[in-house]
């Protein structure tokens, strides 16, 4: 089973790459699904075939799906939404405002991403290609399982116990709605789906992310940050895909400066993403939409390579002994010393890079040890634990 996450800044061509990758896999005999979690669905446009909320046949061996995220939201969040709407309404918000307050930004895309787990569990496909939302939204979604996991493990059980105790008393003295067991069960079900997605996407044997970029300074800067943040949350990246390279055959003087800039940026890509497989696509002289043209894109992108294999290997997270110390190593490419902060609280280590923070629950072998230091070693953050009791 393979899951390929195709992501990149908006407008770099990730939907075309997703469609071409899926088509290439299907042509090689894999049962393939390509699905879009981007609210601005454009897979239908890429294939020139109507796609709906359910998997739709595209060619033999390939299905496409543009998920109706609102429907998923209604199914899995409806009970919690109704309670929160009632609570906000009790607090003075009118009906429309309450409805807006109980659906948090990005939740619809999150439920769309949760569909990946269902398809993996079904066994209906060998390969799932995900046309992700632009990188900022994708990173927010991929960081949510860690954030929600901390909340569900630390606060949710306490809230449920408190609610059971105070519910009979509060009902007698005030009208404020108190959540029932159905609300807590819905919350647990919601978290269960998200946690299931995290297990699938964070398993490098199953899932690889591929970064699509153009040779432009702003695009490359975002791709570099994305590479770091994906490493922070334990997601394996195996390829950097450079799109719209001006071909050598283009000799018009108008493109001379563009070619020079692209050459400089391509060298930056080689250095920054040296651990990854580097794939290239030229700037085509027409729109590459429809089955026949997407096949051309797939052939040029992958050549003789199987698009479903791991194109590069990295270990997002590992623990090993070094003398009497134990080292927790976290893969953090393209990050500078001043951008990283490490803090321990009880049985957890918090690693912050830029605006993102990850909580790592320590294995039993490290919980009784003290942190003796932390430093960047190549593309990894090494957190050292000494012999002494914590």
Q: Express as a percent the part of the chain with pLDDT over 70.
A: 73
- φ/ψ (deg, to 5) at 67: -70, 135
Of residues 274 and 185, which shows the higher confidence score?
274
Nearest Cα neighbor of 106 from 186, 46, 184, 194 is 194
CA pair distance 38, 42, nearest whole angstrom? 8
How do residues 127-164 score in pLDDT, each as one tens digit?
Answer: 999 998 787 666 666 666 565 655 555 545 544 444 45
Contact 36, 280 (CB under 8 A): no
How do residues 56-102 score in pLDDT, each as one tens digit?
Answer: 999 999 999 998 766 766 665 555 555 555 555 555 555 544 454 44
Of residues 173 and 348, which shows the higher confidence score?
348
* Range scoring the smallest mean pLDDT among 28-37, 117-126, 167-176: 167-176
- pLDDT value of residue 102: 45
Q: Express as a percent the part of the chain with pLDDT over 90.
A: 49
The 10 Å CB-count burial string (b at 16+, else e) for 62-76 is bbbbbbbbeebbeeb
For residue 132, CA distances in Å to 18, 108, 149, 292, 300 come to 9, 13, 22, 23, 22
Q: pLDDT band for position 169 (50/70/90)?
A: very low
All structural domains of the chain, each given as residue ranges with its CATH number in brackets, are 1-314 (3.40.50.300), 317-389 (2.60.40.790)
CB neighbours of residue 307 within 10 Å: 25
* Range scoring the smallest mean pLDDT among 8-22, 95-109, 213-227, 280-294: 95-109
Mean pLDDT of the chain: 82
- pLDDT value of residue 134: 80
How do residues 206-245 score in pLDDT, each as one tens digit?
Answer: 999 999 999 999 999 999 988 988 888 888 999 999 999 9
Identify the burial level of 345 via C-beta atoms within 10 angstroms of its C-beta, where 0-12 means exposed, 13-18 middle and 19 or more buried.
exposed
- pLDDT value of residue 136: 65
């Amino acid at each position: 089973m393979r899951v390929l996450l195709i992501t990149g800044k908006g407008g770099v061509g990730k939907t075309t790459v997703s469609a071409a990758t899926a088509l290439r896999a299907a042509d090689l005999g894999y049962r393939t699904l390509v699905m879009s979690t981007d609210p601005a669905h454009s897979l239908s446009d890429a294939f020139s075939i109507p796609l709906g909320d359910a998997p739709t046949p595209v060619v033999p061996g390939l299905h496409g799906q543009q998920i109706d995220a609102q429907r998923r939201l209604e199914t899995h969040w409806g009970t919690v939404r109704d309670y929160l709407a009632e609570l906000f309404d009790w607090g003075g918000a009118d009906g429309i405002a309450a409805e807006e307050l109980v659906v948090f930004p990005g939740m619809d895309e999150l439920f769309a991403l949760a569909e990946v787990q269902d398809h993996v569990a079904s066994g209906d496909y060998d390969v799932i290609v995900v046309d992700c939302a632009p990188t900022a939204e994708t990173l927010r979604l991929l960081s949510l399982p860690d954030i929600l996991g901390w909340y569900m493990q630390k606060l949710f059980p306490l809230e449920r116990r408190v609610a059971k105790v105070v519910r009979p008393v509060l009902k007698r003295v005030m009208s404020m709605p108190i959540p029932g067991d159905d609300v807590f069960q819905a919350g647990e079900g919601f978290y269960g789906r998200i946690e299931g997605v995290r297990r699938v996407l964070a398993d490098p044997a199953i899932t690889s992310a591929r970064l699509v970029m153009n040779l432009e300074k702003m695009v490359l800067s975002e791709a570099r940050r994305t590479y770091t943040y994906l490493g922070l949350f334990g997601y394996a990246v195996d390829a950097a895909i450079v799109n719209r390279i001006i071909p050598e055959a283009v000799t018009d003087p108008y493109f001379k400066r563009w070619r020079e800039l692209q050459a400089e940026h391509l060298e930056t890509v080689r250095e920054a993403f040296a651990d990854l497989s580097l794939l290239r696509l030229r700037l085509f002289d027409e729109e590459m939409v429809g089955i026949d043209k997407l096949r051309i894109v797939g052939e040029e992108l992958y050549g003789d390579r199987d698009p479903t294999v791991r194109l590069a290997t990295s270990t997002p997270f590992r623990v090993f002994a070094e003398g009497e110390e134990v080292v927790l190593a976290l893969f953090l490419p393209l990050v500078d010393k001043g951008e990283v902060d490490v803090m321990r609280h009880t049985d957890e280590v918090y690693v912050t890079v830029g605006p993102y923070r990850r909580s790592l629950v320590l294995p039993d072998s490290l919980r009784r040890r003290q942190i003796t230091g932390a430093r960047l070693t190549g593309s990894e953050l090494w957190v050292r634990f000494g012999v002494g009791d914590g």
